[in-house]
Structures are given as structure tokens and as C-alpha cells.
Structure 1
Amino acid sequence: MLTLSMNTQTILAGMSIGLFVYYVIKRMRYRLPPGPWCIPLVGHYKIYSSPEIHVKIAKLAKEYGPIVRLSAGPQTWVVLNDINSVLEAMVKRKADFAGRPHFASGDMFTEGGKDIALANYSASWKFHRKIAGKALRHYLQGDLLENMIQDNMNKFLDKMAEEKGPFVFKEYVDLMVFHQLYTICFGEKRPVDDPEVKEFIKLDNDLSEKFGAGFFEDIFPYLKNIFTTAKWKVFLVLSEEVLNILRKKFKEHKETFQPGVNRDFIDSMLIAKQEAKDEGDEAVLEILDDTHLVQTISDIFFAGVDTTRFTMDWFVYFMTRFPEFQEKCQEEIDRVVGPHQPSMKDRSKLDYTEACLFESMRLSNVLGLGVPHMTICDSQIGGYDVPKGTTVLINFWALHHDPKQWKDPEQFDPHRFLDENGKMKPIKPESWLPFSAGRRVCLGETLAKPEILLMCANLLKRFEISLPEGVKPNLEYHMQGFGVELPSDYKIVVKERSG
């Protein structure tokens, strides 16, 4: 027993000395970005373990500059807090920063990085993304998306119209968006109270809380094989349940797939793969196996679900607190759309409504820190060295609240996005990056923007939305996981509009 204890101490001491030497050599070799002092191995625990990590890092940027170095356990992180450093890294040196670091939880959920969002930068990743992009273009042709959105919206707006008093909008938006993505990805139109959809919502909420908050195993991955936490065990079970649902949906589509018939996004993926095979690209069979395709569907489904429902929740939250903006949106929708239901052809004329949506995305900050990048070679930002293998994060909260870029950044003001004629500015503000930039720009951006705008326009066309009588507006929020801001719980009242 004494020998075992001494061996353990020797190993730990050796590791500590080795890491210290590595740290000193690295500091001498590179001109690293500045950052606060920390305890070796432990790192800046109070920062990386905080749900408000994005706010804490933004405060550090005021002291150390826009490029801040932190330690998350033994890992080095570099966080970019202004638009200039982000554009230099992600656009000017985009290939250098296109990698993804390995996190134990991400590797587990993506079955070894076989998705697009978390997979490392490589030739196979570029090919995989190209096929997925082609599938999205297939899907967005014609009026397929528009019809799906309108059918789903009508179903839930009718249900909302039955509410006679205050109700929690979040419960409706969760159902609305999950049904929407069920139709987009799986081609399924399910009943309003469908138990499978409700169970999937619960799974995703549970998984978001576990995944979003991060894991001890992500900071110290080697410990998951020595001491497995209860939280990690729950995560493994939830991940497998979710992936089994997606595998089942994909298998059903493969068995009923007909070339040339496009029912939904899964079919679009199968069509894109078939076209690549027909062009004689033998690499398709090797690279794009069923696991890769299931993981692509997972990316589109969960990115679409969470981005859309969180954004819509914030949009309604702001519309109830600023009824004057809601009224202007409704005036525009009535003028542009008339007595009909809003459609995709109206999008280019719904400038004020889109500006309110864009401002909701700026001020709400659905994701404080983006998905981590990793340098695939030695590089530089702002005159500082960033060694190969460094984790690099974009602080979107800092970008969207930067007083150098936004006048009164804490105020909700859709006019930021409009020109003097009330039209959307042809070039959006540089520091507005909800979908990121560069090689890792969000794959689903072309799907998400029109989808969310059409859903918001349908909602405001049908209802006047307000807070319950006697409830004063506020702008409070709560944190869900790693830098994710969501509106504080609130209820709304809806009133059918005429015309």
C-alpha cells in the first residue's frame, strides 16, 4: 500500500515537473497573448467553470486587450473578443484556425468526429461539408421549405388561439420548432401532442444541460477511464438514446428511398451522395458511410432546433417588452403581405421585421462563446504567436456588446440594421456574427435565416402579443450551460388580429 502511494506521488510529481518545463519552454519560444496568472494544471477554474464565462472573459479583455490567453486545466485557450482579431483569424488566416480540438464529450456524441460541426479540418471534412451543402441547396429549391413552415405554424397558431389566459410561450415554441425540424429532416407531420416529439424535446433539453455545461472529462480526458463521474454516465446514456432515434429515421429513409424523389433533408443527403457516386467519385463510398450521414442529420437537426427555438423565444420576449416595435412590424407585415399568409417571396420586403430579428440575435446572444476552433499550424493574431494545437474561441457576446461597434449596446434598437430609407443595409455590421465566419461559418445559415423570419412573421401576422395585465416588462435572463443566455421564465397573452 505504501509502495503504491509512493508510485502515485512519483508519477504526479513527474507530470507536474514535465508540464512546468513544457510551459517554460513554450513561453520562451513563443510570444503568447497576455492573460492572468493561474495555478498550473488547475488553470483559471473560476472562469472556465462559470456559466457566465463569456462575460468574465470580456471583462479580462478590458485589462489585457482583445486577445486573451487562459488555461483550462492543462489546456491553453486563446479567446478573441473583438471583430478585428476575429476577422484576422477566421477570414485572413482562415485555414490556420479551421481545426477543431478534441473534447471527450464531443468525440462521444459525434462517434469520433464523424459530423461536420465538430470534426477536425481535413480533406475528408471538406468533401463531407461540400456534399452537405449540396444537399441543402437541393432541399431549398422550390417551395418545399415554405410549405412545411406554413403548415406547421398554422397547426400551432390554432392551438395558441385556444388559450384564454396567460401561458408560457417557450412550451409552444419548443413544440413548434421540433415539429418543424421533424418535417424538414424526416418529412414527418405529426399531431400537436405527439408523444415521440415530446420525448425527443425532453431528451434534447436534458442533453443540452449536460453537454452545454461541459464536463470534467473534457478538461482532463484521461481521467474518464480512471474515475467516471455520474454526470458522464448520464451523458453517455442520453447520447445513445438520441443517436438511436436518428439512426432509425435514416434506416427507414434508405429502405424507402426513390431516386429523384425529394421528401426532406435526409432524402436530399441521399440524392447528393448518389450524384457524387454517379460522377465516378469512388471516395464517396469510403468517406460518406451511414455514420457520417447520420451525424450530418444530427448537426442540421440540433443546430436548427436550438438556434431557432432560442431565437424565437428571445424575439417574442423583446416584442412583449417593446410593443412599439411589435406594432411597427405588424404594420409592415400587413402592408407587404395583405390578407394572405406571409411567404418566402415577401422576405425581401420585410425589412423592419428582419431588423428586429437581427437585433434580437445580437442582444440575446444565444451562444456566448462559439464552438472552439483549433490552430492546425503555428500562426499569429494581433502580433501574438498562436502555436499549433491551441484552442481558439470567439467571444460572440463581446462582439455583440462592443461599445466601439455599437452605440448603446445594451439597448434594443433595430434601426442599427436599417438605412435612411428604412431598408436593410446591403452590408450588415461587421461585428454581427451569430453564424460565425470563415471556413467554419454555420452550414445551416441559409436555411435558418429565412425559416426563422417566416415563423416570426406568421406569428405577428396572426396575434398581438403582450405580457399579462399588471406584469411589468424586464430584460432578465438566466444561464443554461456554457455561456448560453435564455430569457427568464415569462408568460404571454395573445389576441387575434383582424385582417
Structure 2
Amino acid sequence: MSFMLNTFLLTFLALLIHRLSKVGRRPAGYPPGPPTLPLIGNLHLMPKEKGHLQFQKWAEEYGPVYSLILGTQVMIVLSSDQAVKDLLDKRSGIYSSRPDMYLGNIVSGGLRMLLMEYGETWRMIRKVVHNNLNIKAARTYVPYQDLENKAMLAGFLEEPDCFVDHIRRYTNSLTTQMVFGFRTTSIDDPKLKQLFYGFEQFCAVTGTTTAALLDVFPFLRVLPDFAVPLRKYAKELHSKERELYVGHFLNAKTALKNGTAKPCFCVDLVRAQDEEKFSDDLAGYVSGSLLEAGSDTTAATLVGFVQAMVLFPEVAKAAQEELDLVCADKLPTMDDEPKLPYIRGAVKESMRWMPTDILGVPHAVIRDDEYMGYKIPKGAGVMWNVWAIHMDPKRHPDPRRFDPARYKDDRQTAAEAASNGDATKRDQFVFGAGRRLCQGMHIAERSLFLAISRLLWAFDFDKALDKDGNEIVPDADDLTEGLFVLPKPFPARIVPRSAEKAERVIAEWKKMEVLLDEDLQWKVLPEGLIWKDYKHATEA
């Protein structure tokens, strides 16, 4: 008996040593990548900051498809437009899941659509979202965008140093209207501040070394919270996040059911909840995810645009010449968009030059696959290296220059560009790929066009001065860290182009105020919105 036990233990130990000897190695047939070390693979090479620059260097060294061995996990990195098209788009049936992001899911309570694995729940949510964010629906939201844009212009006029706050209120208020039925009227709104702070912390947590270690060595998850303090913090973030998102949803749900709410996305969400019987927590995170997506990424792009105008004054001047020729003394509208190719180019270039999802949110492949002669194993994470594609000098000569003229012959919408069969014709990659393509891109494009065209029509942008009168030059490469990024805080000098334009901004906002009640909410909603009044599923 003792002999058999000893034999078993020796065999088990030998198998364990054999298995461990393979951890961290790059198996034959995998895409190339940096040299590995036993057990940890490439973990020791992973940068603690400015990771996009290292991922770009590896693409230059190892090619458009390379692999990183991260402990027990494999990450396949796609760094060319063609690779993204071939795998994430054309093979989306097996490339649309997500790798397990342990701390990210703790912050999210496992409910954030962004991180959700491909499956029935995700498909159900996607269908509900599509009904409210498709291109037909997006056209009906222009009155919301027009109102919030004019409020933002008035804010720039009154408090230009708070331009980031005004941008964030603009994108947030548009989204709270569409999702929950109310406007966010002040840059000091505590729920507005909580949203942006909370999302910044979510991005920061998911980008830490601790998060990476817990993903690639799952056995570390058994450690208690005192040994993994970041997990305790992630739980605290979830508590605050849940309170915000579920609270917004429950307020809308109660108002819808008693007939006092404005029509909004939550109409369809509550109907879906009646039919599918999912929890208020999931509903809160569905609506909260839309609030995040509509508020944060568009705002980050516009902050990047302001920085670009400060750094490239010749671009602002060229854009203003086009605006003056087409629009003269009236604010640009969506009807002017076809006649403003340089402004359309500025919208596209803003997303290319400062991509918010700088390394994308990794996909995961659900079965073994092969590409370019390489094996891509089931369960591997698949990263679309947005920065490397956007900064490829063969694709975009002098890529760190902000140049809207790159797109002078490109009349595609972002959705048309993303679905173009020719991968080289896609304008930018910030809206994702395949079945994970952002469904709000039609709305985001319009918000960006109205903001960029009107800000340039009304204001001049210049470098701020320090106390000694010296110009403060923003660093375009000084970005925040994490899953989504934006420029770190920088000053700018923003002044009206003329007294007449300032007066026009004030007059346009006064016209809008007539449409609002004493709480600055809509008295009567614009016509043409897609939502109907709420009815229980059994009544419809």
C-alpha cells in the first residue's frame, strides 16, 4: 500500500513539474513574440505605463500578428487593419467573447456589458440596445444634441478655463436624456462627477499589475482581501457604481410605471425586463453602460480635439475659413455637414490622433483557429492594437501630426468605414470591431461634428500663458493610464472669435431656454423621437 501511494505521489509530482515546465513557454506554431521566461512568460516585460508605445514597438519587431505569453494565458495582438478585418470582423462568430478580467468584473458585479462574455445574456442586451441606437433612431436625437451643444457653447463663453467640465456635461446630459429622460444641467452635478470619477477608477484598476497577475495566475484569487487590497477597493467601487446606475434605473422605472417619466431608452429596457425577468441590477448596468459609453469616450475625444487645436493653430485657421465660407454668421447644423469636408475630416482625425481605447478592449476566441499559418488557441485574448494601426506611417504619413486633410476624399460614415470590405479604407478603429462594434457610433459622430464645427465657428484656441508670460505647450503624449485614456489636464486660452459671434452664442442659448422649465428640463419633448409610452408586455 505504501509502495503504491509513493508511486502515485511521484507520478503526480512528475506530471506537475512537467506541466509547470510548460507554463510561460511559447508553444511551437504560435505567432512570434518577445522571448519568454519559465512560469511568467512575458509578464516581466509588460510596461507599467505608456503600454501602447511598447505594444507598437513589438508590432514593428514581430509583425502585424504577434503573441504574448502571460503566465497561464495567451494574448494575440493584432496590429494591422487587415488582421482586424480578417479575424474580428470576418470571423466574428468565434472572436466576439471576452477574456476573464477578474478585477474589472468585481468592479462591475459581473454585469458590465463591455466585459461580458459572448452568450445569451449579451445577445439579449445587444438587441435591446440596437433598437434604440440604430441609425434611424440616431437621427431623431439631433434636437437633444443641438440643445446640449448650445449649452456647452454658452459655458465656454462664461467659463472657458472649465472647458473639460463643459464638454463632459455636454456628453453626459445628452446621454442622461436618451437613457433616463432627464438633462444634466450643471457642471457641478455630483452624479456627473461621480460617473467620470468612477469610470476613471475602473479604467485605472483594470490597468494595474495586480489586475494582470490575478488574470494570468487565477490561483492567487484565493488570497484574502488584506493580501490583495486592490480587490477590496474594487468591491468598494462596485458598491458606489451600483448605487449610481441602479438608482438611475429604478428612478426611471418607477416614473415610467406611474406615467410621470419622459420617454427614454428605459422604456424598452423595462419592457424587456418584464419579458425576460432579469434583475434590476442587470438593468441598471445596461443603462449605466450606455451612460458611460455616451459620456466618457466622446468627451475624451473632444478634450483631445481641443488640445490638437492648441498645438496645430494652422488646422483651426483652415477649418474656420471653410466654416466662414459655408456658414457665414449662422451656427453650423447637421444640414451643413456635406458641405464641410475639412470639418468632417477633423472629426475623423480627432478619433485617429487621440484614440480613447488606445489598445482596444480584448476579444477572446472560443475555439482553436489558424491565421497566417499560426495557431490561435481557444481561450486566447485577442487585442486590436488601435494605437499601432492609427500611428502606422504607411497608413497615415507623419502620424503624430493632426491633419484633417487625410480624409478629404472620404465621405463614409464611421459605420460605413467599419463595414468596408477594403480594410485600408477604414477611417479609425475606436468604435471596435465585429459584433462588438459600438452601436452608438451614429450618435457619437453627430455629437462630435456639432461640437467641433461650432467650437471652431465661435472660438479661437491658443496656448495658455504662465505667470511669467511664457506659453504653456501641452504634451500630446502625456495621457492618462488604463483601459480608456485621454490627455492629462492642460490649460488652454479659449476666446470668442468676435463680439458678434459671442452675441450669437448667447442669443442661440436664449432661444433654447424658452423650451425649458424652471428646472431647465424640457417642457415638451421634440417631435419624432422613437420612444413610445411604457406599457407592460402583457398590454402591448
TM-score, normalised by the number of residues in structure 2: 0.78
Q: Deviations over 1:381-401 (max 9, x none)?
A: 222111111111111111111
The 1-side partners of 2:479 and 2:215 are apart by 20
Pairwise CA distance, 1:45: 2.4
1:270 corresponds to which letter in structure 2?
V
Cα displacement (A) at 1:261: 7.8
Query: Equivalences for 1:12-91 in 2 at 5 Å?
Result: 17-21=18-22, 27=27, 31-91=29-89
State whether structure 2 residue 223 is matched by structure 1 residue 226.
yes
How many correspondences in the alignment? 470
Q: Is the 8 A contact 2:332 2:454 kept in 1?
A: yes
CA offsets 1:81-121 (integer angstroms, 9 cap, x no match): 11222111112222121121111123223433x44322212
Task: State the Cα deviation string for residues 269-294 of structure 1 (Å, max 9, x = none).
Answer: 335x38xx7xxxxxx415x5433332
Cα distance in 2 for partners of 1:315, 1:482 equals 20
Q: Is the 8 A contact 1:100 1:120 kept in 2?
A: yes
Asked whether the equivalents of residues 98 and 439 of structure 1 are also in contact (C-alpha less than 8 Å), the reply is: yes
Cα deviation 1:62-81 (Å, max 9, x = unaligned): 22222111122321111111
Which SS does the other structure have where 1:487 is aligned?
Answer: coil
Shift in Å, 1:480: 2.2
Contact map agreement 1:47 1:56 (CA 8 A) in 2: no
SS of equivalent to 1:494: strand
Which one of 369, 375, 381 corresponds to residue 385 of structure 1?
A: 375
Check if 1:245 corresponds to 2:244: yes
Q: Does residue 180 in structure 1 map to residue 174 in structure 2?
A: yes
Q: Cα distance, 1:181 vs. partner?
A: 2.8
Secondary structure of 1:328's aligned partner = helix
Partner of 1:4: none
Q: Are the counterparts in 2 of residues 168 and 492 from structure 1 also a CA contact under 8 Å?
A: no
Q: Could you tell me how far apart the structure 1 residues matched to 2:214 and 2:130 are?
A: 33
Equivalent in the alignment of 2:320: 330
The alpha carbon displacement at 1:356 in A equals 1.1
Residue 387 (structure 2) aligns with: 397
**What residue is the counterpart of 1:207 in the other structure?**
202
How far apart, CA to CA, are the structure 2 residues paired with 1:235 and 1:38? 31
Could you tell me whether the CA contact under 8 Å between 1:98 and 1:373 is conserved in 2?
A: yes
Indicate the SS of the match to 2:486.
Answer: strand
Range 398-407 or range 11-20, more displaced: 11-20
Q: Quick one: which amino acid aligns to residue 19 of structure 2?
A: G
Distance of 2:295 and 2:133 partners within structure 1: 16
Provide, for residues 278-326 of structure 1, a one-character-per-residue CA deviation record: whole Å limited to 9, x for no partner.
xxxxxx415x543333222122111222211110001011112222211
Q: Residue 7 of structure 1 aligns with which residue?
A: none
Matched, 1:102 2:100: yes
Q: Output the TM-score relative to the length of structure 1.
A: 0.84
For residues 397 and 146 of structure 1, the distance between their equivalents in structure 2, rounded to whole angstroms, comes to 31
| One-letter amino acid of the structure 2 residue matched with residue 19 of structure 1 | L
Aligned partner of 1:117 in structure 2 is 114
How many Å separate the matches in 2 of 1:151 and 1:56? 42
Indicate how the Cα distance of structure 1 residues 120 and 365 shifts in structure 2: closer, same or farther if over 3 A, else same. Answer: same
**Secondary structure of 1:130 counterpart:** helix
Instruction: Report the AA paired with residue 492 of structure 1.
Output: A
Task: Judge which range, 193-202 or 380-389, deviates more.
Answer: 193-202
CA distance 1:74–1:491, change in 2 (3 Å): same
Name the Cα RMSD after superposition: 3.1
Residue 340 of structure 2 is aligned with which of 350, 358, 375? 350
Separation in structure 1 between the aligned mates of residue 98 and residue 396 of structure 2, nearest angstrom: 30
Residue 130 of structure 2 is aligned to residue 129 of structure 1: no
- Tell me which moved more, 443-452 or 332-341: 332-341
* Partner residue, 1:310: 300
CA distance in 2, matches of 1:73, 1:253: 45
CA distance 1:59–1:477, change in 2 (3 Å): closer
Q: CA deviation at 1:346?
A: 3.1
Gaps of 5+ in 2: 1-10, 418-424, 502-540
Moved more, 485-494 or 468-477: 468-477
Q: Is the 8 A contact 1:48 1:72 kept in 2?
A: no
**Residue 483 and residue 141 in structure 1: after superposition, are their counterparts in 2 closer, same or farther (change >3 A)?**
closer
Q: Choose the corresponding residue for 2:156, options 148, 157, 160.
A: 160
| Structure 2 CA distance for partners of 1:411 and 1:46, relative to 1, 3 Å | farther
Q: Which runs of 5+ in 1 are unaligned?
A: 1-9, 278-283
Matched with 1:280 is none
What SS does the aligned partner of 1:412 have? coil
* Cα distance between partner residues in 2 of 1:201 and 1:486: 12
Mapped to 2, the partners of 1:366 and 1:414 lie a distance apart of 18
Distance 1:483 1:134, change over 3 A: closer
